[in-house]
C-alpha cells in the first residue's frame, strides 16, 4: 500500500484560513495520508513582493496547523539555497511507495506555463486543482493526471490580510488564532509595502 501525500506549496505571506480549509478538503476527499504545507524559501516568481521572511512564514504555517491531524509543515524549500521550483521539491520528496498529489488553486494552474521544468513536473505528481464556485481549469498541455476538488468561495487572501493589518483592522477568523498572535507579537505587515 503506497503512502498518499498531498504537497501544498505557496508563499503563505501569511497563511490563512482558506489555505487550511483547502488542505483539509483535499486530504479528506482524496483520502490522503497527510498533506505537507511547504512555504517557499525563495519564491522567484514573487521576487521583491514577499513581505515576511522565510523563517517567519515557516513559523506562521507551523502554528496554523499545530494539532491538526494529517496536516504538516515542511521546511524543505526554506532550507534550500536555491530558488523554490516545484519540480525540484517534488523530486526531493519522491520515494518508492509514495504517491504525490500537488495541490494548486486555479490561479496557480493559470500560472503553470511560466513554471521552470514544467514538463518534468507532469511525471512527478497528480495535480489536484482546488476550484472555487464558478472556476474551472486544467493544467497546460496533455498527459497530466488531474483531480478536481470543488470548494465554497472564501473571501480571504494573503494580500487582504496584509492590507487589513496595515490599516489596523482585525483579522479574527481570517487566519488561525496562533498565527494571528504571532503576527501581532512580531509586528508583521503593519508597514506600507
CB 27 within 8 A of CB 35: yes
For residue 192, being part of any structural domain is answered with: no
Which regions in the chain score pLDDT beneath 70? 43-49, 193
The CATH number of the domain holding residue 126 is: 3.40.50.620
Question: Which range marks the domain in which residue 75 is found?
Answer: 3-186
Can you tell me which residue has the cell 488553486? Answer: 105
For residue 131, being part of any structural domain is answered with: yes
The pLDDT of residue 152 is 85
For residue 98, being part of any structural domain is answered with: yes
pLDDT digits (tens, 9 = 90+) for 99-145: 999 999 988 999 999 998 999 999 999 999 999 877 788 889 899 99
Give 10's Cβ-side CA count (13 Å radius): 25
For residue 82, being part of any structural domain is answered with: yes
For residue 193, being part of any structural domain is answered with: no
For residue 51, being part of any structural domain is answered with: yes
For residue 90, being part of any structural domain is answered with: yes
pTM: 0.92
Count: domains in the chain: 1
For residue 191, being part of any structural domain is answered with: no
Amino acid at each position: 500500500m503506497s503512502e498518499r501525500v498531498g504537497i501544498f506549496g505557496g508563499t503563505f505571506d501569511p497563511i490563512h484560513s482558506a489555505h487550511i480549509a483547502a488542505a483539509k478538503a483535499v486530504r479528506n476527499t482524496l483520502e490522503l495520508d497527510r498533506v505537507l504545507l511547504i512555504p517557499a524559501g525563495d519564491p522567484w516568481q514573487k521576487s521583491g513582493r514577499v513581505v515576511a521572511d522565510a523563517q517567519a512564514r515557516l513559523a506562521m504555517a507551523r502554528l496554523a496547523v499545530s494539532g491538526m491531524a494529517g496536516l504538516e509543515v515542511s521546511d524543505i524549500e526554506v532550507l534550500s539555497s536555491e530558488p523554490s521550483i516545484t519540480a525540484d521539491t517534488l523530486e526531493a520528496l519522491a520515494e518508492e511507495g509514495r504517491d504525490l498529489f500537488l495541490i494548486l488553486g486555479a490561479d496557480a494552474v493559470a500560472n503553470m506555463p511560466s513554471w521552470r521544468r514544467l514538463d518534468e513536473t507532469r511525471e512527478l505528481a497528480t495535480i489536484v486543482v482546488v476550484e472555487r464556485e464558478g472556476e474551472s481549469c486544467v493544467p497546460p498541455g496533455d498527459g497530466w493526471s488531474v483531480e478536481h476538488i470543488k470548494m465554497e468561495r472564501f473571501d480571504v487572501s494573503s494580500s487582504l490580510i496584509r492590507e487589513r493589518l496595515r490599516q489596523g483592522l482585525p483579522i479574527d477568523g481570517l487566519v488561525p488564532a496562533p498565527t494571528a498572535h504571532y503576527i501581532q507579537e512580531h509586528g508583521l505587515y503593519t508597514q506600507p509595502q
